[in-house]
Amino acid sequence: MHALTIDAEDWAQLMCSYLGHTMPVSEQFVSSIERTLNMLGQHDTRATFFVVASQAIKQPAIVREIAECGHEVASHGWTHAKMHEFTPDSFREDLRRSIDTLEEITGQEVYGHRCPFFALMPEQSWAFEILQELGLEYDSSLTTLLWQAQKIALPDEPFVCALPGGREIVEVPALARKVGPVTARLIGGRGFRVMPSSFYLSHLREREEQGLPAMMYVHTYETTPDRLMRYVPSHLPIRERAKLVVAAKAFEVGMGRMNRALHRLLDQYEWAPMRDVVAERRQKGTMPRVVVTTEGKVVSDFAGVLA
């Protein structure tokens, strides 16, 4: 059983906010979630949706529908802010607000979190305690390859972060391979859109042989068959509009092919929400552990103490 995760976010609004401009949540937020729900329905597959809560609050009906279709709704933060921009206090506030909002909309408890860009780095190891403190069971926010670059080896599978005071939280990391200068994550993002299918099929085969779960992530806007460019807001200054048009074109490369591949993978493999995958790993009792010290430092003796 592999984890199927969907990041539900409004591409145009986020890109606009990165340029310092505001725009309302676009119609794409709703239509791309609807399309994703239809696709999962066709394959009778359930997934975890990591939802940006400040966008969810503007379109609560579609977020409620995600939960009513039997999928898990988890936190993708309040505003999709980057991890390195947070202090522990501002992260706690952002996370709490996102959890409260999503729980109010769906009437269901939130169990998991994913930060934007899988960019939780060793410098933000304090986040594990806050995630646990706010009642979450798991997090899926880091890329092991990026931690290795800082000489911290982490398991390439779901692992337990042992926190001070005997508390713990499970981390489900994203795996990646270096392809030239690019970090291509398995299975999702640019790697999924442009790499040959052998890139992720061999990974899935290997995971099944090892008895380990793979994790796939797809953005709702990646299931959009119409041009992303359509959603570039017209009120932006021309230079910034041009930047977004270039970004939209880059995202569109390989999107059609990725959608066909996605249908095949949904057909051929068994997928489940992340919470179910974490529960299965817990039940097996084989999850590796890493220790987070009281100073918020990760000490991993997995493949040698490197921290």
| Footprint on this chain of Zn ion (rule: CB under 5 A) | 7, 9, 116
Cα–Cα distance, 3 to 25 (Å, whole number): 28
DSSP, res 296:
S
Residue pair 54/17 in contact (Cβ under 8 Å)? The answer is no
In whole angstroms, the minimum distance from the beta carbon of 13 to Zn ion comes to: 12
Phi, psi of 95 (to 5 degrees): -70, -45
Of the pair 7, 171, the CB lying nearest Zn ion is at: 7
Residues in the chain: 307
Specify the residue for token string 């119609």: 27
CB of 261 to Zn ion, least distance (A): 20
Q: 76 or 275: whose CB is closer to Zn ion? A: 76
* Smallest distance, Zn ion to C-beta of residue 246, A: 19
Close Cβ partners of 18 (under 8 Å, ≥ 6 residues apart): none
Q: How far is the CB of 279 from Zn ion (least distance, A)?
A: 24
| Whole-angstrom distance, CA of residue 238 vs CA of residue 20 | 14
Task: Compare residues 140 and 300 and give the one whose CB is closer to Zn ion.
Answer: 140
In terms of CB distance, is 163 or 274 closer to Zn ion? 274
Minimal distance in Å, beta carbon 219 to Zn ion? 7
- CB of 80 or CB of 207, closer to Zn ion: 80
Question: Which residue number, 207 or 219, has a Cβ lying nearer to Zn ion?
Answer: 219
Nearest-approach distance from CB 80 to Zn ion, in angstroms: 6
Map tokens 């980057």 to a residue. 82
For Zn ion, which is the closer residue by CB, 26 or 300? 26
Residue 151 in contact with residue 307, Cβ under 8 Å? yes
Q: Which two tokens stand for residue 185?
A: 């994550």
Question: Helix or strand or coil: residue 57?
Answer: coil
CA distances from 284 to 157, 266, 280 (A): 13, 24, 6
Instruction: Report in angstroms how near the CB of residue 115 gets to Zn ion at its nearest.
Output: 8
For residues 184 and 199, the answer to whether their CB atoms sit within 8 Å is yes
Rounded least distance, CB 7 to Zn ion, Å: 4
Query: Phi/psi of residue 65, each to 5°?
Result: -65, -35
3-state secondary structure of 105: helix
Give the SS3 label for residue 175: strand
Nearer to Zn ion, 8 or 265 (CB): 8
